[in-house]
Amino acid sequence: GLREEIEELTQRKTQLPELTEDDIVTFEKLPLSIKTLKGLKRAGFTVPTKIQRQSLLFSLAECDVVGAAKTGSGKTLAFIIPILEKLYCSMWTKWDGLGAVVITPTRELAYQIFEVLNKVGKEHDFSAGLVIGGTDLVFEWQRVKNCNIMISTPGRLLQHMTENPDFLIENVQVLVLDEADMCLSMGFSESVNCILEELPPHRQTLLFSATQTRDVKDLIRAGCKNPVFCSVHEHSK
Ligand code: ADP
Ligand code: MG
């Protein structure tokens, strides 16, 4: 049953520190739910990329993680998988409403993440919504108000958070800052910092970036608690 699976996963997570990157030859070596494994398989993902192997060892253990790797290295799955697992494993206790927020700089990136999430999370019961604007605020709210996972652009998310008294963020367990360097270079620093201050401090924060600029380092200090740094250099696969 569900309870047994979650107990087993929780037990296997305690053994993560014994694993190394090289042990994770396939996603099946990780403590992942059957639903996530099925979703990965159906989407055609079997072997994790280097940034995924490095970061999942820590993000699945619920550490804050900073992941640095160039575009195309697979950073999206490196945060979608821990979101699904964290929400799934806390579901049978007491869990409801908005549980995870992903912030990404552009609508296009938000769409792409949304698609990957819907594919890989297909077997799960979570609902996901896009908070990216381009439509009336009230109309957008009707569409996303019951979502468990929001994929958002910074300005629009902040607008909902500040203008909407029904926006409940107290159960947010995972925050993802995707393409953090791009978020900052596009001028979203202030919005992102406001969002960081609003979200519950006991959350897990995962920050991914292609480059590690000084501004990104400031953001890491503002948003992450004792993060584990995972970085993959050019030419390594
Ligand atoms: P990044 O965010 O680092 O730029 P993405 O997450 O967008 O990278 O992934 C880049 C490409 O790699 C996508 O086409 C994605 O489907 C593919 N990809 C990601 N992870 C895997 C994997 N484990 N196995 C095969 N392909 C993968
Ligand atoms: Mg990306």
Residue nearest to atom 21 of ligand 1 (CA): 74
Percentage of the chain beyond pLDDT 70 is 97
For residue 233, name the pLDDT band (cuts at 50, 70, 90).
confident
Ligand 1 test: best mutation among 37, 73, 237, most atoms within 8 Å of CB? 73
Task: Confirm whether the ipTM is greater than 0.95.
Answer: yes
Atom 5, ligand 1: which residue's CA is nearest? 74
Give every CB contact of residue 1 below 8 A, 6+ residues apart in sequence. none
Ligand 1 centre and the CA of 48: distance in Å?
Answer: 9
Q: What are phi and psi of 103, to 5 degrees?
A: -115, 130
| pLDDT tens-digit map of 73-90 | 999 999 999 999 999 998
Residue 236 has pLDDT above 90, yes or no: no
pLDDT for 74 equals 97
Which residues surround the ion ligand 2 when the cut-off is CB under 5 Å?
75
23 Cα to the center of ligand 2, angstroms: 25
| Residue 149 to residue 170: CA distance in whole angstroms | 13
